[in-house]
Amino acid sequence: MSEYTPPFKITPAVISLIVEISQVIERISIFEKAINNLRLRRINRVKTIKGSLAIEGNTLNESQITAILEGKWVIAPPEDGNGRMGRLWQTLILSKWNPLFATIPVESLVFENQEEYYRALSSSTTNAECSVFIEFMLRMICNAAKSLLEHLNTPEVNPEVTPEVKKMLYLLLKGDMSRKEIQLKLGLKDEKHFREAYIKPVSASGLIEMTIPDKPNSRLQKYRITPKGQAYLSIL
């Protein structure tokens, strides 16, 4: 029995898009706490459902979809499901690779580019070769991920890091420092203000951590930048 050959080619564009998606997903993971916020997940879930329905010509709006999710009845037109099932499988497969894909509203972006979506489908069907459609979907996934990253990097979702806090993070890239050392290098005199405006919020955000967490008042206590803090600096 001959081996099955999938009807597509791994083109340079496909490889480039996969690399770019991986990089964006890595950056999104920095904001994992914000992504796990139930309100944000619900908003993206509604957007995804609305986009998926709209692609197939269904006119349910976000209020109606929200009502359905809450177990309420709404009046809606009959639906078919082939396209939605295909996109569901896509989401499930991607989510197996990285759970973050469950929160990225790709469907809404596909709807915004619906004509190109159908052209890519038609081309793949006519030529019995799926590379065009795969490239299209990878672009949609990449752009949707970038859009989510931009949203997560807004002050409403992610508290703004002041220039002084950035300086503190860059200082800690050089090595662990005590509270006094950091404060001295930043030229800040008010200890209480420094603790309240710098140490506490930045520690709470997970960008820095204590070197002796079980003894917070130890005279040997120092602070170090976390991997999350290092990753955060890379996108500032």
The verdict on residue 175 lying in a domain is yes
Distance of alpha carbon 208 from alpha carbon 225, whole angstroms: 4
Q: Spell out where the chain has E strands.
A: 208-210, 223-225
pLDDT value of residue 123: 92
Q: Please give the residue range of the domain that contains residue 110.
A: 12-152
What does the pLDDT average to over 25-52?
Answer: 65
- 145 and 107 share a domain? yes
pTM of the entire structure? 0.57
CB 194, CB 134: distance < 8 Å? no
Residues in the chain, how many?
236
Tell me the sheet residues that pair with 208: 225
pLDDT tens by residue, 92-148? 788 888 888 877 878 888 888 889 988 998 999 899 899 999 999 999 999 988 888
102 and 187 within one domain: no
Residues 6+ apart with CB under 8 A from 186: 164, 167, 168, 171, 194
Same domain, 194 and 119: no
For 48, residues 6+ apart whose C-beta sits below 8 A from its C-beta are: 91, 105, 106, 107, 108
